[in-house]
Each structure stands twice: as structure tokens, then as C-alpha cells.
Amino acid sequence: MPQAIKTYVRIIERINRVIGRATMYMVFAMMGILLYSSFMKTVFLPPLWTLEVSQFMMVAYFLLGGAYSMQLDSHVRMDLAYSHWSPKTRAVMDTVTITFLIFFVAMLLYGGYSSTEYALQYGERSYSSWRPYMAPIKIIMTFGIFMMLLQSIASFFKHLAEARGETLS
């Protein structure tokens, strides 16, 4: 593989590793918000913002962590025949299937960008009684999808190299 591709894969994986590891700690913030919400519901009046903030954090958690999950190869996979194939056959199949993923994530990115642009342009707000602005979570959503696309392309190159009998390190 050309040095430019090796550099691309190394940089994207480093960025997604940093983002993914930082994102892992968001689960503790979500638990804290939900614990606070539960406590307030039993003792005082429940705050309006807790459920929606925890939902936004969950969206950020799985979208920002998606690329890191893909990098670690810890995503869900149908393993009916896959585990019985040789590593080279797996790499070829991964190369083929990831092209479909790249197309799908590119379409998601297009929709996410469009939705984010709308939220920024018109000051879109949630329909809940708290009514937060939607732009911040949509920006995070679009960024997470973008990083997933970059990681998908990096994974494509890794699987392609593996199918050719090379490694990208």
C-alpha cells in the first residue's frame, strides 16, 4: 500500500481512538444525570431537562463511539459462516461489504448535514416542555457520522491490504 494510505489509516485511527476513549466516560455522566433525576422525582419536583439531556448524551455516546467500535472490530456481526472462513476470505468479504457501509454512511452524512443546516438556520427546538435547541446535538451527530465515514474508509484500506496479504501498521 502507498505511504499516503498508511498515513491516512494511522491518523484516522489515532483520532478515533482518542475520541472513543473520551466518549467511554460519558456513560458515567449519563448515570449521574439519571440518578439525579430519580432522586429528584422521589424527593422534589422532577426537573424537565434530565431525560432529554440523557437522551442527547446517549446519541452522542453511540455516534461518537461508533468509529472506535469499528476500529476495535467489536461491532455486531452475523457469524454463521464468517468464523469458518480463512482470514484472507474474511478480508475479501469485509472489503466487499464495507463498500456498502461507506455508501450507507455517506447517505447518513448527507442527511445529517442537511438536518444540522436546517437546525442552525431556523433555530430548531425540541418539542418537549424544556424546548432545548437541537443544533448542538445535531452537530455532534453529524461529526460522529463523519468520523464513522473516515473510519470506514480506513477499514476498507486495512481489509484490502489484508486480502492482498499485506498489513497496515
Residue 94 in domain: yes
pTM of the model: 0.90
The tally of domains found in the chain comes to: 1
Whether the per-residue pLDDT at 138 is higher than 70: the answer is yes
Whether the per-residue pLDDT at 75 is higher than 80: the answer is no
What is the C-alpha radius of gyration for the chain, rounded to an integer number of angstroms?
Answer: 20
User: What's the whole-number mean pLDDT along residues 157-165?
Assistant: 92
Residue 51 in domain: yes
Return the pLDDT at 147: 97
Residue 16 in domain: yes
Residue 168 in domain: no
Return the pLDDT at 169: 64
Across the chain, mean pLDDT equals: 92
Structural domain harbouring 81: 3-163
Return the pLDDT at 122: 96
Per mean pLDDT, which range of 69-78, 83-92, 149-158 is the poorest?
Answer: 69-78
User: What's the whole-number mean pLDDT along residues 45-61?
Assistant: 90
User: By percentage, how much of the chain surpasses pLDDT 90?
Assistant: 76
pLDDT, one tens digit per residue, over 101-136 is 999 999 999 999 999 999 999 999 999 888 999 999
Return the pLDDT at 74: 82
User: What's the whole-number mean pLDDT along residues 85-110?
Assistant: 94
Return the pLDDT at 44: 84
Residue 169 in domain: no
